[in-house]
Structure formats: C-alpha cells, structure tokens
Amino acid sequence: MTKKQKKMLIRIIASSLLFLSLVVFEHFYAVPNRFLRLGLYMVPYLIISYDILKKAFKGIVNRQVFDENFLMAVASLGAVALAVYENGSYKEAVAVMLFYQIGELFQSYAVGKSRRSIAGLMDIRPDYANLELDGKIEQVSPDTVEVGSVIIVSAGEKIPIDGVLVEGSTTLDTSALTGESLPRSVSVGDEVISGCINLSGTVKIRTTKEFGNSTVSKILELVENASSKKSRSESFITRFARYYTPAVCIGAVALALIPPVVSLALGNPSNWITWIYRALTFLVISCPCALVISVPLSFFAGIGGASREGILVKGSTYIETLSKVSIAVFDKTGTLTKGSFCVTNINPVDIEPERLIEFSAYAEAYSSHPISKSIKQAYGKDIDFARIDDVKEISGKGVTAIVDGKHVGAGNGKLMDELCVSYTPCNDVGTVVYVAVDGVYKGSVTIADEPKETSKQAIAELKKIGVKNTVMLTGDADAVAKDVANRLGIDEVHSELLPSDKLAIVEQMLRKKDSRERLAFVGDGVNDAPVLSGADVGIAMGGLGSDAAIEAADVVLMDDDPLKLVKAIRLSSRCMRIVKENIIFALGIKALCLVLGAVGIANMWLAIFADVGVMVIAVVNAIRAMYTKKL
C-alpha cells in the first residue's frame, strides 16, 4: 500500500469511528439543535471529503466542471442543506462521501496491484555496468558504454547491454523477459541480451549495441507507451463520460425544477424539498465511476498479466484486435520451425562433395541467414575471406560471389534461372541450395529444418478457440512448405515467396476477409517487418533480442513458443469479455436506479450502492484480467 493509500485509509477509519459514534450517541441522546448537530456531523464529513470538495472547486475555477468530484460535492452538500432546512438526518451526506472514498481506495489498490505486475517487468532496467578499461573495472551508467566495449557481469547481476560472451560460461535467468523459469546456458561466442540475470560465474561481454538500442530499452519503451494506444471500447468510454456527466447534471436540474413548477401551475402543492432530494439522489446515482474506472483498469490488468507471461502488448487496442482474430498467417522459419538448419544431403555433379560444400560455404560466407550458417557449419573449416570478392545477395533468390577467381552462385531455382544455368531440380524434402560455378551447374545441397515441438499443438489449439483459417507463407520450395504444412495441420500454404510477395498476399487476404474478422501475422520480426506492420495485428514470435520485432510488431512474444500465441488470444478474449460484462452491468444498474430515483422509489442509500457498490463490483471483476495461469 502506498503512502497516499495509507493516508486515505487513516482518514476513512477516523471518519467512520466519529460517524458511528455520533449515530450511536444520537440513538440514546437526542440533539434537538439543528446547528449543533450540523457542527458535530461536519467533523467526519470534512475529514473524509475535503479533497473531493477541493477538486470540485478547482474544476469550477478551471471551467472543467462536469466530473465525479462535482457530482459528489453537489449531492452531499445538497443533502446537508436539506438536513439543515428540515432539521433532518445528516447520515446520508456523510455516508455518501464515506462509501465513495472507500470505493476510491479499493480502486486505487486494484490499479496499484495491476501496475505492480508491469513494474515487475521494469525490474529488468539495469542500474550500472562494470566497464573494463586498461585492466581496471569501473562502474558506470549503462548509457555511457560504447559499442565494442568489454563489460563484466558477476553472478546475481543483470546484463545491462546486448553483446557477445567473450570469456566464461554461465546460466541466465530470462524469466523477466520470457515468463519462463528454465535457465538458459551460454558460453563463449553466444549472444546475450540485456535484462537477463547472470545466475552463476563471472563473465565478460563485448557490447554489440548502445544501451538505447538494447533489448531492455526497447522493451521498457514499449511497455511504458502501452497505455497511450487505447482500444475503441476505452475511447468510447472516454467520449461517453464527456457527454454523459453534463447530461445528467442537466437532468438533475430539470428533475428539481420542472415537476414542482408544473405542480404549482396546476394549483397543487409544489413539494420543492421532495424533488430537490430526488435530484440530489439522481446525481449520486449517475456518477459514472464504475464505467470510467473499470474499463481502462480491465485493459491495464490484461496488459499487466500478459507481461508476466512474456507477452508484451503495445496497447489496449491490440487486446481488442487479438480477441477477434479469425485468420492466423505464419512465417515458417523461426516461427513454426526451429530455424536451426543442418545439411542432410549433398548431390554433387562432376565435382567432389567436399569441394561443392566448400564453394557453397565461401559463397555464403558473409550471410547470417540460418541456411548459410548450416552450410558453413557443414564445411567445418575457417573461412579465408581473402579468397572471396564481389559478394552480392539477391533478395529471395540467393547469393553470388567470386571465389578463387571463379564466379559462384548459390541459391534456389530462381537464381539459377537468373544466371541462365541449366540445372536438375532436386526433390529432397528440405531447403535445396543449387550451386553453379562459372555458369555450370555443380549440384545441390539440401538443408532441413524441423518444426518446433509445440507448433502442431498450437495450430490445433488455435482452431479450438475460433481461428477459422491458418496460413503459412515461406520463401522455401513448394515441396518443403507442403511437407511442413501437412505435418502441422495448416489449412493453406504459399511457397517460394519474396518478402514483397508475402506482403501482397496478406494485403489481398485483408481485402477479401469479412469486416468483422481480424487477421494476425506471426513472424520472426526480422525479415517480416513490412508484413507485421500491414496486418490487423502483427505478432513477433521469438522476438528475444530482435529490434525489428519490438519496433514493427503490435504484440511481442518474448520466447519462441507458438503456444504463447494461443495464450495471448485467450487472454485478450477474456479481457474483452470482462470489459463487456462491466459495461453492461454498470449501465444496466445505473439506468434502473436512475429511473427509481427519479420516481422517488430510490433514496440516497440506494444511490450509494448504485455508485460505490457498482464500482467496487466492477473493479473486482476487472482485476480478474491479471490472472493468466489457467489460460
């Protein structure tokens, strides 16, 4: 509980004790003097309400009159005035403010609880970096460390900046980023990202990014800005409250004036006090706290709960979109498959297999693509970059290079066609890299990529929760793509695509889909940034450490488990269900109580329930969005 909340709790307890003491005292001893009773009841009233009265006064001065503070101030002060006039009870005036503040404290605590789930993610922010300079260690601010510097991270410390391990080995706690408790082992040469906690030995890391571009900074920026992107439901509530409050104030004034004036005009008693009391009751009932508080809180709790699971949502608008996803489009490599390729077959033509792999490895020497890495791994020797010249990467086709003075092309069939090389198509299941040397076809290398263990289950679960169509887009050969799609149970597959082809297909699907449907594209966030941005909701799978994932996607799954997508959609669907429940419940009860108040059936005590009671119930319902274990 915060300082402010503790102070409010003390005020509530003090006011409650004084109020109850006065009620008990009056039960046994009558206080006939109205002004003495007024003075006695004003003590607990002012203790509990002085901040509300102050805010209402400031709102009037600043010409921002119509808010809940104004409604509560007018209603409670009106009740006090009526009690003075009639020498009646002051209990209602004090009770209105007391219960309202109890509801506000409850709501504040609920927001704080939800905020702490996001604040837990903020613990990944590093406070310092141990910089190695001339053999000495200096503790500095992370944002002063330059790229290429060597930092030292001891056991128990956070990794402050992305880099590569250059000395030592350890295990890392990535739970703050991925939501997974299983530590990750790393050794020399492995990439490590900021925000993870070093669990064992002291290690040295050579930084590869500035702090501002590191994973931890990108994630914190994403989470801090999440509240700025409101959903349609949340924006509707904001607009609703803007018009609703002045409307009910005008309605209350009309209720206080029109019936007694009409009654007087007809020659009947005016009953001013009765209608003013009803108008004040109408104001208390009309306070839109439950709606204005619970809807944003539901989204906030949903985003907070997701962050604990390693699912980063950039705003409530994407919670709403995720809940309506009926078409899921996937990239293949690194999303549905492991992305860890290995050479499974070598098909030489008039060349030794070792020489074919050597040409392939040298042509792919400068590429960081998983396929290139697998070929270099199969070659198994150090690359002599002095033997390589004039490297050209042709998007969606492959690479060409001059190796030992020979022109080498390594890529798919489209590259062979572009180089006017006659080749024999290979029917191996896997990604086939065709190799040509000086315009002569020299064979092919087959690389296979296995689906992730949870991919098939994820596709099945998506269909269970209402995703009607699953689609896979890939640059791989048609045979490979169909093999993976059949094994995973994917409905539709498009193969041999360039990055621009993927975007064109997604745009075509967006045009054809029903207006109520939403399309999600799930990719690795590196090569698929245009498609991630173009979809209704872009989801970066395996976005750990990927700048493109964090920047281009609307939702980032901080590990590469496809089942997290299912959890994200389930979470968003439940969050939207809670939002709708709160809207229907709050508006329904308000409407009923407003009618009862206008006709005189509802008194101020019912008004208190309609305001504070409904708010508390709605807030309790809203914080359910935080809990994700059973999803």
Q: State whether residue 385 is helix, strand or coil.
A: helix
Which amino acid makes up residue 345?
N
Residues forming a β-bridge with 331: 473
Residue in 67, 162, 173, 331 annotated catalytic: 331
Q: Taking CA 215 as the corner, what is the angle to CA 302 and CA 152, rounded to the nearest 5 degrees?
A: 130
Q: Which of 522, 549, 374 is nearest to 445 (CA)?
A: 374
Strands 325-331 and 469-473, by their bridges, are parallel
Phi, psi for 276 (deg, rounded to 5): -65, -40
Q: Tell me if 252 sits within 8 A of 283, measured CB to CB.
A: yes
Q: Which of 283, 301, 332 is nearest to 481 (CA)?
A: 332
Is 536 known to be catalytic? no
Q: State whether residue 93 is helix, strand or coil.
A: helix
Provide the total of helices (H) and of strands (E) in the chain, helices listed first.
21, 22
- Dist. CA 10–CA 3, nearest whole Å: 11
What distances in angstroms separate CA 613 from CA 47, 96, 107, 252, one per listed residue?
21, 11, 12, 21
How far, in whole angstroms, is CA 175 from its chain's centroid?
17
Q: Which of 379, 371, 411, 583 is nearest to 496 (CA)?
A: 411
> Which residue is it, tokens 């995720």?
322
The DSSP code for 426 is -
Q: State whether residue 493 is helix, strand or coil.
A: strand
Task: Provide Rg for the chain, Cα atoms.
Answer: 33
Q: State whether residue 71 is helix, strand or coil.
A: helix
Tally Cβ neighbours within 10 Å of residue 147.
14
- Dist. CA 298–CA 269, nearest whole Å: 49
Q: What token pair was written down for 27?
A: 């039960």
Q: What token pair was written down for 236?
A: 């509707």
The answer to whether the Cα torsion of 174, 178, 179, 182 is positive or negative is negative
Show which residues are catalytic.
331
